[in-house]
Amino acid sequence: MTNTTVILTRDLAKSYGSVAAVHGLNLSVEPNRITAFLGQNGAGKSTTIKMLLGMVRPSCGEGTVLGKRITDAEENCQMRRKVAYVAENKPLYGYMTVEQTIRFASSFYPDWRADVARRLFNEYKLPPQQKVQSLSKGMRTKLALLLAFARHPELLILDEPSEGLDPVGIEHLLQTLVAQSAEGVTIFFSSHQIAEVERVADHVCILDNGRLLVNASLDQLRQSYRRIDLVFASAPPEREFRITGVEKIQTKGHQMSVFASRNAEAVIERAHDLDAVSVEVAPVGLREIFLETVKEN
């Protein structure tokens, strides 16, 4: 188990021609935590992951994973021995049978756990002699995940793991993630399933248009983000509420809705100072934080 930052990037960037997929990314993923990576399609999540794993070369900037430089082919190769990765499209070799696939994957990693592999194999009810190309999408997803979960890596990177799974499968996936985390595996996963992220993630990174907009612990987000709904007797004084932490103000008639990422107490105090008729404070869920952050960008 490491105590150093598991993933650390400095001004990591990638451009394809004139289009910048990733801008100056400063990512830091701490060990023994579950970190979620949120972003719209095309925000740069997969590109970032590919840069970390040596599949794509950064245009500039640098990074380390488990202390190894991502831009050095040799170091990156050594690092991959201790990293389990499942790409978004759950890649598998169609011409191999389920059994051949498992044997193939297990041969590369000293951290392979045959007992876990057997248990998951039975739980997922995979047909051993069937070729991968004739498996259903759900079965393929489970097999692809099995190849990662049957190991005990230092870092587990998952790109949209719940895609292709039914609700039972998703629940099982989350339980497995939690179990891995309890054994000291650092987990870094990207997902569109905000409800799932809210349950299991310790830390959240929000990426939009290649930029890291939010990088905070989920608990911190839960404690700082607030929506404050105010009603005034006369026209709401919007100008008075443009203080630090206020991200967005919406006014409709006598009502004003303030969306604050922090400093909500100051907003409430100001509201009372300005004789607001009604002050209602509500927590903000991760979905709303994500949507508002991305819209503002």
Partner 1 sequence: MLWYKAWLETRSRFLTCLATLTIFCAVFVGHAQELIRPEWTADCNRLLFVTQQFVVIMWILGVVLLGMGGIVREKAIGTSSLTLSLPVSRARLLGVRAGVGVLEAIALGVVPWTTIFLVSSLARMPVLISQVGFYVLLLVGGGLAYFAMAVLVSSLVEGEYTAPAVAFGVVLLTAIAFDAWLRPFNLWRLVTGDYYIDRHTYLLSGHFPWLGTFASLSVAGLMLLASVKVIQSREF
Partner 2 sequence: MFFKLSPTTGQPLYLQLMQQIRHATETGALQDGDQLPGIRTLAEELVVSPNTVAKAYSELEHDGLLELRQGSGAFVCVERRTRSMADHVQAARRRIRDLIERLREEGLLDEEIKRAFEAELLYPAETVRKR
Shortest distance in whole angstroms from residue 30 CB to partner 1:
22
Torsion, Cα of 7, 9, 13, 14 (10° steps) = -30
- Which one of residues 37, 85, 189, 232 is an interface residue with partner 1 (CB under 8 A)? 85
Q: Is 223 in the site for partner 2 (CB under 8 A)?
A: yes
- Which one of residues 114, 269, 296, 297 is an interface residue with partner 2 (CB under 8 A)? 269
SS3 12: strand
CB 116 within 8 A of CB 180: no
Shortest distance in whole angstroms from residue 245 CB to partner 1:
40
CB 38 within 8 A of CB 197: yes
**What is the largest distance, in Å, between two alpha-carbon atoms of the chain?**
74
Question: How many whole angstroms separate alpha carbon 297 and alpha carbon 209?
Answer: 8
Cβ-Cβ contacts under 8 Å for 29 (sequence gap 6 or more): 5, 6, 7, 8, 35, 186, 188, 203
Shortest distance in whole angstroms from residue 61 CB to partner 1:
16
- Which one of residues 6, 12, 27, 34 is an interface residue with partner 2 (CB under 8 A)? 34
Q: Is 292 in the site for partner 2 (CB under 8 A)?
A: no
What residues line the site for partner 2 (CB under 8 A)? 32-34, 171, 174-175, 178-179, 181-183, 195, 198-202, 218-219, 222-223, 225-226, 265, 268-269, 272, 275, 279-286
Can you give the binding site for partner 1, defined by CB under 8 A?
50, 53-57, 73-74, 77-78, 80-81, 83, 85, 87, 89, 91-93, 95-96, 100, 103-104, 107-109
